[in-house]
Amino acid sequence: MKSLPTLRKGAVHAVAVLSIGLVGLLTAGCYDLPENAPMLNRASFTPAVVLEPTPIRLSPLAGALCPVGFPFNPAFHLIVTAGVHDVTLDSVTIHMVDGTNLGGPSIVIPRPQLADRSGSTVILAGSTRDFALNPDFGCIATTPVLLNGSAVLIDQRGTPQTIVVQGRVQ
């Protein structure tokens, strides 16, 4: 059995620790966040891809000759945001959806062609890159409704990840 002074000393220490903890808890509730301070961490661990502008403008080329229909050469941007690791944009496939068949005509833009247009295809961790695209679908007979895109991103370990995006055509 412990002596009375030892028990009192332990109780005093326990009360002191609990009191300090309670004071810390109470004062933490008094801190006011600045007006524009974010309440959530919006950091993304995975890459993201979007098409802009939305909707994608349907503007047939003036003066271009097509035996049937009109030429379709849309201009838009593929915006790629890397997550917590660097990624490389390896290729982009754009499918035109016109409602006449499943999938529609498609155009693949490989990494060398993307690099020729944009310099590098590397997107550094936490950053965003804008890739201007202008796929030429040639002469089309039916007005497209959507453009579906799939961007293949390669991480530092060489693992590919395909991200699918969609843009309405108007």
**DSSP string for residues in the chain:** ---HHHHHHHHHHHHHHHHHHHHHHHHHTTPPPPTT--SS----SS-EEEEESSSBP--PPTT---SSSEE----EEEEEE--SS-EEEEEEEEEEE-SSSSS--EEEEEHHHHHHHHS--EE-TT-EEEEEE-----EESS---EEEEEEEEEETTS-EEEEEEEEEB-
pLDDT at 67: 84
Residues 61 and 145 in one domain: yes
Residues 106 and 159 in one domain: yes
Q: Is residue 40 part of a domain?
A: no
Which parts of the chain sit beneath pLDDT 50? 25, 33, 37-42
Q: How many domains, in total, are found in the chain?
A: 2
Same domain, 118 and 83: yes
- Residue span of the structural domain in which 17 resides: 1-31
Percent of the chain with pLDDT over 70: 69
pTM score above 0.85: no
pLDDT digits (tens, 9 = 90+) for 17-38: 556 655 554 555 555 545 554 4
pLDDT at 39: 46
**Is residue 83 assigned to a domain?**
yes
- Is 41 inside any structural domain? no
